[in-house]
């Protein structure tokens, strides 16, 4: 009771009992008990051994100890069914973890761990991204100086065995704006267009989730990225994603496109996008798909072309030429459940198209 940590008699396992009263935090840890910092230090030592040489049978105990440490760190950070995490302990662990290069060691050694240890390590890394020490996200500071770690994480989408672990870590790391910016501006960005379509569904879906996070989380960073990289980005986006032969790729891409263009911070990009007749052609084709989900999502982008008050003549030309078909298509387009906003949008778009006059 007098301390937050109690040591199990025979094993090395540290079990949390109750959170310590805040006033006694100085007497929190008795010297003989393994503190969170001790566990991190021990983990680091074991990872170094693992990294430096091949692990033989004699070292098996060390591996078991390493796995146990990772499990303990997870319990400290997340708590368990009996106890909530103790902020003091979380903070101590975080500080020690980023004090030295534990993160790098863990990332580099991850393939050498077994499945359970990999999962524990991933969850530890994920949690550490959100831990504050003296109201600072020290993970962000660490990553700023170690951006090359992102290269390892991103490339893992090419390795089916590691992709889901590294992918989960990556998604947590790009919560930091500075990391997201790095990834967006890195050459890796182009690879996502392929990762999203990896045949292995769970990996492709993970890459898609990361891509979506990159393109939506940090508004101003994304807006800046899109205006600086407009040309190649949307060329790739259109040809590889919106016109992909893969149904799920098209569906996710058109949904994400809507999310991006409808975001206020991307207004300039949106204006540019809806002035292109090539883009309009692609969206009109998507609206003709037999998949209702894709049709509806495509409509949410198409409406921006129609609503644009500064429509270029060629856009108007296309809309006028296809007026009857468009009006019929839109008239038939219905959502299963009632959606006033959708109906209102649709009516507005139809009105807009019906009123169009070809310009000379």
Partner 1 sequence: MASNIAERVQYPLDSSSYKIIDEIGAGNSAVVYKAICVPINSTPVAIKSIDFERSRPDLDDVRREAKTLSLLSHPNILKAHCSFTVDRRLWVVMPFMAGGSLQSIISHSFQNGLTEQSIAVILIDTLNALSYLHGQGHLHRDIKSGNILVDSNGLVKLADFGVSASIYESNNAVGACSSYSSSSSNSSSSLMFTDFAGTPYWMAPEVIHSHNGYSFKADIWSFGITALELAHGRPPLSHLPPSKSMMLNITKRFRFSDFDKYIYKGHSGGSNKFSKAFKDMVASCLNQDPTKRPSAEKLLKHSFFKNCKGPEFLVKNVLNGLPSVEKRYKEIKVTMGEDSKGNDDDDGDDEDSVVNVKQRRISGWNFNEDGLKLEPVFPKDQCREDHDVVKQVRFEEENEIQEEEDVASSGTVIETNLGASDVSGVVKNREATLATLSVLKGSLEQELGQVKFLMSLIGGNGEENHVAESEEISKLRMELETERKKNLQLELQLENIKLHLISSTLNTPTS
Contact between 131 and partner 1 by CB under 8 A: the answer reads: yes
Footprint (CB under 8 A) of partner 1, residues 172-201: 199-201
Q: Is residue 123 part of the contact set for partner 1 (CB under 8 A)? A: yes
Cα 25 to the chain's mean position, in Å? 36
Q: Are 63 and 50 in contact (CB under 8 A)?
A: yes
Q: Which of 92, 238, 252, 266 binds partner 1 (CB under 8 A)?
A: 252
Alpha helices of the chain — where are they, by DSSP H? 36-52, 60-78, 87-99, 102-109, 115-128, 138-145, 148-155, 163-173, 177-185, 192-195, 201-216, 219-228, 230-236, 247-261, 267-273, 277-287, 292-307, 313-321, 323-332, 340-354
Interface pick for partner 1 out of 37, 248, 327, 350 (rule CB under 8 A): 248
53 in contact with partner 1 (CB under 8 A): no
CA nearest 197: which of 229, 237, 234, 153? 237
Instruction: Indicate the residue among 78 and 230 with the shorter CB distance to partner 1.
Output: 78
242 is a site residue for partner 1 (CB under 8 A): no
Establish if 168 lies at the interface with partner 1 (CB under 8 A).
yes
Sequence-distant (6+) residues with CB within 8 A of 191 are 154, 157
Q: Contact between 227 and partner 1 (CB under 8 A)? A: no
Q: How many amino acids of this chain bind partner 1 (CB under 8 A)?
A: 47
Nearest-angstrom CA–CA distance, 316 and 330: 17
Residue 247 near residue 201, CB atoms below 8 Å: no
Examine residue 314 and tell whether it contacts partner 1 (CB under 8 A): no
Centre a 10 Å sphere on the Cβ of residue 221 and count the other Cβ atoms it contains.
17
Q: Could you give the 3-state DSSP secondary structure of residue 218?
A: coil
In the block, tokens 């590691």 appear at 162
Only segment of 10-18, 73-81, 100-108, 266-274 that touches partner 1 (CB under 8 A): 73-81
- 177 or 246: CB nearest partner 1: 246
CA atoms within 13 A on the CB side of 310: 7
CA distance 64 to 116: 11
In the complex with partner 1, the residue whose CB is nearer, 11 or 135, is: 135
Nearer to partner 1, 132 or 239 (CB): 132
For 281, phi then psi, to 5°, come to -55, -45
Shortest distance in whole angstroms from residue 229 CB to partner 1: 26
CB of 73 to partner 1, least distance (A): 12
Residue 324 touches partner 1, criterion: CB under 8 A: no
By CB under 8 A, tell whether 90 contacts partner 1.
yes
What is the contact surface with partner 1 in residues (CB under 8 A)?
A: 19, 55, 63, 77-79, 81, 84-87, 90-91, 111-116, 119, 123, 126-127, 130-132, 135, 160-161, 164, 168, 199-202, 205-206, 208-209, 246-248, 251-252, 291-293
């Amino acid at each position: 009771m007098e301390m937050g940590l109690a040591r199990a008699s025979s094993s090395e396992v540290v079990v949390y009992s109750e959170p310590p009263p805040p006033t006694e935090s100085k007497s929190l840890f008795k010297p003989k008990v393994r503190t969170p910092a001790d566990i991190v230090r021990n983990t680091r030592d074991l990872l170094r051994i693992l990294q430096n040489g091949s692990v033989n049978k004699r070292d098996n105990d060390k591996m078991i100890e390493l796995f146990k440490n990772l499990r303990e760190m997870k319990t400290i950070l997340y708590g368990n069914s009996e106890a909530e995490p103790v902020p003091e302990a979380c903070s101590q662990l975080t500080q020690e973890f980023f004090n030295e290069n534990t993160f790098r060691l863990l990332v580099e050694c991850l393939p050498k761990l077994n499945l359970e240890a990999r999962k524990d390590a991933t969850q530890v890394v994920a949690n550490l991204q959100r831990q504050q020490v003296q109201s600072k996200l020290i993970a962000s500071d660490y990553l700023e100086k170690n951006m090359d770690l992102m290269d390892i994480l991103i490339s893992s989408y090419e390795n089916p065995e590691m992709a889901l672990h590294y992918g989960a870590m990556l998604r947590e790391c790009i919560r930091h704006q500075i990391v997201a910016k790095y990834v967006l501006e890195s050459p890796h960005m182009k690879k996502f267009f392929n990762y999203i379509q990896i045949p292995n569904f769970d990996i492709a879906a993970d890459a898609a989730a990361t891509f979506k996070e990159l393109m939506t989380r940090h508004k101003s960073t994304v807006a800046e990225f899109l205006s600086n990289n407009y040309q190649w980005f949307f060329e790739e986006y259109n040809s590889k994603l919106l016109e992909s032969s893969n149904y799920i790729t098209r569906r996710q891409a058109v949904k994400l496109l809507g999310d991006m263009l409808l975001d206020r911070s991307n207004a300039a990009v949106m204006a540019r996008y809806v002035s292109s007749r090539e883009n309009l052609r692609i969206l009109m084709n998507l609206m003709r798909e037999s998949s209702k989900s894709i049709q509806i999502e495509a409509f949410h982008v198409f409406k921006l072309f129609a609503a644009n008050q500064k429509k270029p003549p060629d856009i108007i030309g296309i809309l006028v030429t296809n007026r009857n078909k468009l009006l019929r298509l839109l008239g038939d387009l219905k959502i299963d459940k009632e959606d006033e906003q959708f109906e209102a949008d649709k009516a507005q778009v139809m009105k807009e198209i019906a009123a169009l006059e070809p310009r000379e």
